């Protein structure tokens, strides 16, 4: 038996179930309020599925022992413990969501009210993104500025990420050159559709070096370009 009453549940049990559900679905499913995939009939977010599962457990046994094969239990439990410890050791920030997660992770006896399940489920993708950022920052820690600000030059670069900036109605493309120097450019919807670039495509292009900038979050050196003229998309590396 995992809980002492019907309103409380162990943090690690919810994190474990969220991990399990994400693995079953192949990805984290965001809340339906996003206005995108959530508009589809019958859509269920990861949170929805975890909440539904909790409601179905009449015996109040939410441990991994109740639904995971013995051979897989230890690994799943270890992942859940690592995620919980990540938030326990985080410093407060100016992000209200993060601060709520930190506060929940420090709950007495590691138990939370079931009304906070959504926050705990969201700890998993938040943790994953944090680890991805750490790996990215480590891989490109030696990034240096490319070219001369205010001058045009040729670039042969590989596209490694496309980020949709919905509020700005545009995209930010992130590239690297052969020396793993980071190069970024803002891309309008029209160009995004016309270029049809895929991640890992290697592009030969000419561009104007708009500025060199130290990323305020990662402290990585980044070169921003614009007035891009595509010479050739060489395809996947």
Can you list the domains of the chain with their CATH numbers?
8-139 (no CATH), 152-236 (2.40.50)
pLDDT digits (tens, 9 = 90+) for 64-106: 888 888 899 999 999 999 999 999 999 998 899 999 999 999 9
Whose tokens are 């009453």? That residue is 5
d(CA 183, CA 174) in angstroms, rounded, equals: 6
Give bridge partners of residue 132 from the DSSP assignment.
Answer: none
Cβ atoms of 160 and 237 within 8 Å: the answer is no
Sequence-distant (6+) residues with CB within 8 A of 109 are none
Helix (H) or strand (E) holding 112: strand 111-113
pLDDT digits (tens, 9 = 90+) for 15-56: 999 999 999 999 999 875 544 444 566 788 999 999 999 998
d(CA 200, CA 178) in angstroms, rounded, equals: 13
The proportion of the chain whose per-residue pLDDT surpasses 90, expressed as a percent, equals: 79
Sign of the dihedral defined by the CA atoms of residues 50, 52, 54, 56, in that order: negative
Tokens linked to 101: 């997660």
Please report which confidence band the pLDDT of residue 4 belongs to, taking 50, 70 and 90 as the band edges: very low
Helix (H) or strand (E) holding 127: helix 117-139
Check residue 43 and give its pLDDT.
81
Check residue 44 and give its pLDDT.
86
DSSP assignments along 143-208, one per residue: ----S-TT-EEEEEEEEEEEEEEGGGTEEEEEEE-TT--EEEEEEEHHHHHHH---TTEEEEEEEE
Check residue 61 and give its pLDDT.
84
pLDDT digits (tens, 9 = 90+) for 120-149: 999 999 999 999 999 999 999 999 999 999
């Amino acid at each position: 038996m995992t809980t002492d009453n019907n309103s409380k549940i162990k943090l690690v049990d919810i994190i474990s179930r969220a991990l399990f559900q994400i693995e079953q679905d192949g990805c984290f499913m965001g809340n339906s309020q996003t206005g995108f995939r959530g508009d589809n009939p019958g859509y269920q977010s990861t949170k929805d599925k975890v909440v539904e599962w909790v409601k179905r457990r009449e015996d109040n046994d939410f441990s991994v022992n109740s639904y995971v094969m013995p051979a897989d239990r230890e690994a799943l439990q270890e992942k859940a413990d690592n995620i919980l410890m990540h938030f326990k050791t985080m410093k407060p920030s100016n992000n209200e969501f993060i601060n709520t997660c930190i506060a929940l992770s420090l709950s007495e006896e590691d138990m939370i009210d079931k009304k906070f399940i959504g926050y705990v489920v969201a700890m998993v993708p938040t943790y994953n993104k944090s680890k991805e950022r750490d790996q990215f920052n480590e891989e490109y820690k030696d990034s240096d500025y490319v070219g001369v600000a205010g001058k045009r030059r040729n670039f042969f670069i590989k596209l490694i990420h496309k980020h949709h900036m919905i509020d700005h109605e545009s995209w930010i493309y992130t590239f690297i050159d052969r020396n793993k120097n980071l190069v970024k450019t803002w891309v309008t919807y029209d160009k995004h559709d016309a270029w049809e670039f895929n991640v890992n495509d290697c592009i030969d292009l000419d561009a104007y070096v708009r500025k060199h900038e130290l990323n305020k979050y990662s402290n990585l050196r980044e070169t921003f370009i614009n007035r891009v003229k595509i010479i050739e998309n060489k395809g996947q590396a």
